[in-house]
Amino acid sequence: MTGADMIVEVLAEQGVDTIFGYSGGAILPTYDAVFRYNNIHAEDGVEPMPLIVPANEQGAGFMAAGYARASGKPGVVLVTSGPGATNTVTPVRDCLADSIPIVVICGQVPTAAIGTDGFQEAPVASIMGSVAKHIFLVTEPTRLEATMRSAFEIATTGRPGPVVIDVPKDVQNWEGVFDGSSVLPIPGYRQRLKAVDDSVLDEDNCAEFFNMLSDCQRPLIYAGGGVINANASPALRALAETFHIPVVTTLMGLGAVDTTHRLSLHMLGMHGTPAANYAVDDCDLLIAIGARFDDRVAGDPPKFAPNARIAHFDIDASEINKVKSADWHHVGPVTRALEQLVSYGRRTGFAAEFAAWHEELAQLKKDYALNYDRDSKLIQPNFIIETINRLTGGEAIISTGVGQHQMWAAQYCDFREPRLWLTSGSMGTMGFGLPAAIGAQFAQPNRLVIDIDGDASIRMNLGELETVTTYDLPIKVVVLNNFGDGMVKQWQRLYFKGRLSGSDKSLHRKDFIKAAEADGFPFAVRLDDKADVIPTIEKFINFKGPAFLEVLIDPEAGVYPMVGPGQAYDEMITGDYIPNRYDITDSEGPDGSEMF
């Protein structure tokens, strides 16, 4: 068969049921192979591997990321050479930063033309090499089939990530024998993987962990996105519930525990809940699981969890002792490790009394609850998201762009399960929300999917509104419109004396309702009256097809709490409506040289 047919056969073998991509000259043989495969294998008119065509290739990359985040399976992107490939650089980097498995297959100019500046040629291997988990340039056709299988292996094993395969057009057109099983010889990778996989907790390791737990009075689990990626949520919940250990999660870890559970303190960090951040200050044992102590959590590392010993679980040895020194650590598959700990604790009859700690935390939740200006005549974004959350009960898939709306959604939404929260964490990529929601809807067609977006962020990939209606996806898109880059404006007000350089879009003329209507949304409504919030959102959520809601919110609403860059939790700004247990009047805020 042809190389293009081999690509499609391996995709089918790997269980791929959706491909996101945009065609072009250098990838046409593979697009044709997908068409022929679907035509042959369709049942009752349903294609086994539909091609979903976005407005541009960046959209395809984020759709694949949304698919992967919502399903746990690798997303697949199929694009042409040159600009087709380079348009996927941002989603590839985004997936690497958040450890999301996708496989990007790029067309390339014929092998003999590589390096000649041919039409739509780009040095994909050089460009992607620094932003992908791995990059393959297939110049030997007989290795194509093995390369495809190995790409999926690398993307999904160990610490997941994006893998890019650059396939010249002549390799796609080449004809050879499909053997059905070959993989590349990548002994170094497989040896490292085996060493990690063989790492198990023995009796002594478990005893050391439980000695630390028995010696503390205020244990706290700090769960990150690694728990979600490892499908370790059930094991984490078992550990927390069996030994009565409260849990805080990172932005990427939301849903690892049920946020409505009595042991959950919700999110910690720069915009975390006050109770979560104060708990970190007060704990004496911090159990970090699939978390990496990044700057949005440990802004001032020496002052982060200042009274705590640290136990750290991760699949990636490079994360251990990178930011904070661990008193105890384990590198290996986290699900197995947590299951071993629970089994050991039950078998040895471990019991500890943390009732006083639970009472302290319950009081922190009560005294420092999230709040906002509930009496304002203007629509507060918090109220919008509270209302959405009340109607969805923590069961909907929520995707976001990046900015204030992202943080409000993280703070005020509940997540009963993992893989319900899709957001660009480490890269902070505006424009992520809408295409990610599309990918999630294909991954979970029976779930309610809501994109909570901002007026500036959704502009980045506004063309994907048409993709929603083209495929008749019942996605709900809500745009919180504060006429500008809200988070940037908040920082400018706090740290740049209110100079709104390039961030105010109050004079821009985008009519989002007309845009949604032009793209075929049967429900497109603008909400600008506080009295109409509840009935309008009820209609929006209950609408059977694609629905678009623009909400004109208080343009000066801020996200609080907020821990400034490089600062500790005792310098957290809580705003006018949340109490603060520290006196921060003498705190020196960060200057303009600090990290955004």
Could you read off the pLDDT of 546-587 as tens digits, one per residue?
A: 999 999 999 999 999 999 999 999 999 999 999 999 987 766
pLDDT score for 353: 87
Q: Residue 35 belongs to what H/E stretch?
A: helix 28-41
> Tens of pLDDT along 315-358?
999 999 999 999 999 999 999 999 999 999 999 999 988 999 99
Decide: helix, strand or coil at residue 354. coil
Distance from CA of residue 200 to its chain's centroid?
28
Annotated catalytic sites, by residue? 57, 119-120, 169, 487
> Tens of pLDDT along 52-84?
999 999 999 999 999 999 999 999 999 999 999
Q: Are 549 and 282 in contact (CB under 8 A)?
A: no
Dihedral over Cα of 416, 409, 573, 579: its sign: negative
> Tens of pLDDT along 416-428?
999 999 999 999 9
- Per DSSP, what are the bridge partners of residue 167? 107
Model confidence at 505, pLDDT cuts 50, 70, 90, reads confident
Cis preceding-peptide flag for 522 (omega within 30 of 0): no
pLDDT score for 584: 76
| Maximum Cα–Cα distance across the chain | 73
Query: Which burial class, exposed, middle or buried, applies to 495 when counting CB atoms under 10 A from its CB (0-12, 13-18, 19+)?
Result: middle
Q: Nearest CA to 245 among 206, 284, 195, 207?
A: 284
Q: Residue 449 belongs to what H/E stretch?
A: strand 449-454
- Per DSSP, what are the bridge partners of residue 559? none
Name all domains of the chain by residue range, CATH numbers in brackets: 3-195 (3.40.50.970), 199-367 (3.40.50.1220), 381-552 (3.40.50.970)
pLDDT score for 549: 98
**pLDDT of 589 over the 70 cut:** no
Q: Are 223 and 290 in contact (CB under 8 A)?
A: yes
Q: Residue 265 belongs to what H/E stretch?
A: strand 264-267
pLDDT score for 588: 65
The model carries a pTM of 0.96
CB atoms under 10 Å from CB of 531, counted, come to 9
pLDDT score for 89: 98
